[in-house]
Amino acid sequence: MLGRELVRRLQDQAEVRVLTRRPPRGPGFVQGDLETGDGLTAAVQGVDAIAHCASAADYRRPQRDVIQLRQLLDAVGSARPHLAYISIVGVDRASVGFFRAKLEAERVVEASGLPWTVLRATEFHDLLLMFLMRLAKGPIAVVPRGSFFQPVDVGAVADRMANLVMAPPAGRVRDLGGPRVEAMEDLMRAYLAAANRRRRVVKIPVPGRLGAGLGLGEHLLTDGDRGSVTFDEYLRSRANVHGVIEDPYAH
Ligand SMILES: NC(=O)c1ccc[n+]([C@@H]2O[C@H](COP(=O)([O-])OP(=O)(O)OC[C@H]3O[C@@H](n4cnc5c(N)ncnc54)[C@H](OP(=O)(O)O)[C@@H]3O)[C@@H](O)[C@H]2O)c1
């Protein structure tokens, strides 16, 4: 999601090489895999900067992202490109495994010996939409009770990342989040209305650390910059001519 938007923004400003596990889609694409290490040396050879936007997005084994980052650093070897890394707002506050692994990845970046930049962003609109669609699959729509999100437009994150990766290394920069903090039930109602679907919205308690963290808002901006696109505006832009909204992560 982010990588694609970032590449669009960088192509006019730089010679861009894109690491992907898929067959190359054109010039500049390098097929490789952060899990196995295949293709990484070719991908990073001679580059001035790396924007690391890949993630296994594996909530059961979040350590995979840390292992993959180490593979990337191994491939860089003794070269010293600028490493720009995208992280998540609140990784130092929330204690769920995925956030803890993300914080560990930040620390690996900082200790890498490379010049580095880390940007933390809140959840993208697209991710929230994917969650909402899954939560509304059945006859009722369920949402975690007492949870709030501050979704941000991926375009705003890509704009910021593009500027950061082209600029000198800046360390940890100001966090970036969405314009509004919104209750999950309101986001669900907005989605159902935009998709013209009728569902009763049922709030369910989420047990454990995840539920507690969601209630405390550990993943919301405390200080930082805000994008301008609201979730409602995003939803309108996602509906096709038939009013159908598709899962943005289904590819
Ligand atoms: N989504 C959010 O709400 C959010 C919020 C804040 C921060 N972030 C961070 O932003 C980053 C990007 O998130 P996203 O939502 O854009 O993720 P995404 O759409 O799931 O994209 C991640 C990409 O990583 C690549 N990838 C995965 N495994 C790989 C592997 N083994 N080797 C090489 N490439 C691999 C894949 O590209 P190919 O399919 O082309 O191989 C995949 O499309 C992540 O680090 C995430 O933690 C996300």
Pocket of ligand 1 from Cβ distances under 6 Å: 1-3, 19-22, 33-35, 53-57, 68, 86, 88, 121, 123-124, 127
pLDDT in tens, the chain (251 residues): 999 999 999 999 999 999 999 998 888 999 999 999 999 999 999 999 999 999 999 999 999 999 999 999 999 999 999 999 999 999 999 888 999 999 999 999 999 999 999 999 999 999 999 999 999 999 999 999 999 999 999 999 999 999 999 999 999 999 999 999 999 999 999 999 999 999 999 999 988 888 888 888 899 999 999 999 999 999 999 988 888 899 999 87
- Residues in Cβ contact with 175 at an 8 Å cutoff, skipping those fewer than 6 apart: 89, 119, 120, 121, 122, 221, 222, 223, 224, 225
CB 93 within 8 A of CB 210: no
Which residue's C-alpha comes closest to atom 19 of ligand 1? 1
The topology (CATH level 3) of 2-238 is Rossmann fold (3.40.50)
CB 183 within 8 A of CB 148: yes
Amino acid at 241: V
- Residues in Cβ contact with 169 at an 8 Å cutoff, skipping those fewer than 6 apart: 82, 83, 84, 115, 116, 117
For residue 86, the CA-to-ligand 1 centroid distance in Å is 10
Going from N- to C-terminal start, the domains of the chain cover 2-238
Please state, in angstroms and as integers, the Cα–Cα distance from residue 77 to each residue in 64, 87, 114, 237, following that order: 20, 23, 10, 43
Which residue's C-alpha comes closest to atom 24 of ligand 1? 54
CA 140 vs. chain centroid, Å, equals 28
Ligand 1 atom closest to residue 18's alpha carbon, by position in its atom list: 40
